[in-house]
């Protein structure tokens, strides 16, 4: 990794960390999801970075993938909610991804929050070049189980590259010897342990209001010229990174209809909410790291 790329990652990480702390300060009873998302995203842009993906606000049994719509005035945090705030920034395409869990005005799930947090810290201490990535999953699993909870087996961390949020390497949250990948110096990884008192695996739920442009499509199959034009404009604006319905609404009218149509035609991926199969509470903690000769550097 050359110095310019490194400095881009460092800047993205600093902005993400500050946005995470700012967002955490907003997580209070009675505050709307929309206010949180808009304020955190505005803070990131004001800081000089870009948005790598929409701010995710996932509560209770929803482990990941939810962001409010542009006109959603009905969703508010309430006492007892367990909130996962997941934030992504980029600078010149170099991404930082970070998340934190906050329980709103209660302490019923303090130990579960500690479980995912300690699992992350243990990985940071353990990971190094050429380690078998299954050993990382084993550490996460053992830590979370030591608190009496389950890791979520089908949610993982991931490698990142320029303008690519999920770049191919998977970081498991359970011991799985089928994972043979070994990270190398310069790899950028998002490490994100999830703990639950539920099933320990997630299923897909309703839509998240988060979308991604497909890389390619066969223009002969898509005969709707307006759909092609809108898709090409969307791809030019958001490129290879996920985007929110809220952002799409600022560019086009009738956004819900257009998004449904583009998704139906296979031009967009609409991310589903990811929900614990037994409706268990879920906690998460996440940092972005760069693999170094000595181990890793946390940039968020």
Q: Sheet containing 94-103: which strands, arranged edge to edge?
A: 50-59, 82-91, 94-103
In the predicted structure, residue 13 carries a pLDDT above the cut 80: yes
CB distance 41 to 55 below 8 Å: yes
Q: Residue 177 — pLDDT band, cuts 50, 70, 90?
A: confident
Note whether 280 and 259 are same-domain residues: no
Same domain, 64 and 132: yes
Q: Are 288 and 245 in a shared domain?
A: no
| Confidence tier at 181 by pLDDT (50, 70, 90) | confident
- pLDDT on residue 220: 66
pLDDT of residue 227: 83
- Whole-number pLDDT of residue 175: 93
Q: Any idea which residues carry the catalytic annotation?
A: 86, 97, 158, 166, 192, 286
Percent of the chain whose pLDDT exceeds 70: 98
Residue 112 clears pLDDT 90, i.e. is over it: yes
Do 218 and 198 reside in the same domain of the chain?
A: no
User: Do 132 and 222 share a domain, yes or no?
Assistant: no
Mean pLDDT, range 242-259, rounded to an integer: 91
Q: Please report which confidence band the pLDDT of residue 219 belongs to, taking 50, 70 and 90 as the band edges.
A: low
Based on the domain organization, do 108 and 150 belong to the same domain? yes
Is there a single domain that holds both residue 237 and residue 189? no
Please report the pLDDT score of residue 46 as a whole number: 97
The pLDDT, as a whole number, for residue 218 is: 66
Q: What predicted TM-score, i.e. pTM, was given to this entire model? A: 0.94
Angstrom distances, CA of residue 11 to CA of 77, 149, 286, 297:
31, 35, 17, 14
Do 76 and 129 belong together in one domain? yes
Which pLDDT value is given to residue 250?
92
What's the domain range around 231? 208-273
Q: What is the CATH number of the domain that holds 72?
A: 3.90.230.10
Q: In CATH, what number is assigned to the domain containing residue 223?
A: 1.10.10.10
Indicate the number of domains in the chain.
Answer: 2
Q: What's the average model confidence in pLDDT over 292-296?
A: 95
**Quick one: 222 and 133 in the same domain?**
no
Phi and psi at 64, nearest 5°, equal -165, 165
Does residue 292 share a domain with residue 229? no
Could you tell me if 12 and 90 lie in one domain? yes
Shared domain for 116 and 151, answered yes or no, is yes
């Amino acid at each position: 990794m050359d110095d310019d790329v490194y400095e881009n990652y460092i800047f993205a990480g600093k902005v993400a960390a500050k946005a995470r702390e700012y967002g955490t300060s907003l997580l209070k009873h009675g505050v709307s999801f929309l206010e949180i998302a808009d304020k955190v995203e505005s803070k990131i842009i004001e800081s000089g970075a870009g948005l790598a993906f929409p701010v995710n606000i996932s509560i209770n049994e929803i482990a990941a993938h939810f962001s409010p719509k542009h006109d959603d005035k009905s969703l508010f945090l309430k006492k007892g909610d367990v909130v996962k705030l997941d934030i992504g920034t980029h600078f010149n395409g170099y991404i930082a991804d970070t998340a934190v869990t906050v329980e709103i005005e209660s302490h019923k799930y303090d130990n579960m929050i500690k479980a995912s947090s300690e699992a992350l810290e243990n990985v940071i201490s353990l990971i190094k070049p050429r380690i078998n990535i299954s050993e990382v999953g084993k550490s996460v699993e053992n830590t979370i189980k030591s608190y009496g909870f389950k890791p979520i087996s089908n949610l993982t961390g991931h490698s990142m590259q320029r303008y690519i949020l999920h770049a191919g390497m998977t970081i498991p949250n359970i011991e799985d010897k089928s994972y043979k990948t070994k990270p190398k110096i310069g790899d950028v990884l998002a490490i994100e342990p999830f703990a639950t008192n539920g099933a320990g695996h997630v299923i897909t739920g309703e839509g998240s209001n988060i979308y991604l442009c497909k890389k390619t499509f066969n223009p002969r199959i898509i005969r709707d010229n307006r759909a092609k034009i809108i898709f090409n404009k969307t791809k030019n604006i958001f490129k290879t990174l996920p985007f929110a319905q809220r952002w799409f609404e600022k560019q086009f009218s009738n956004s819900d209809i257009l998004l449904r149509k583009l998704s139906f035609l296979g031009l967009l991926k609409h991310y589903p909410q990811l929900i614990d199969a037994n409706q268990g509470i879920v906690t998460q903690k996440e940092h972005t790291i760069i693999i170094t000769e000595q181990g890793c550097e946390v940039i968020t």
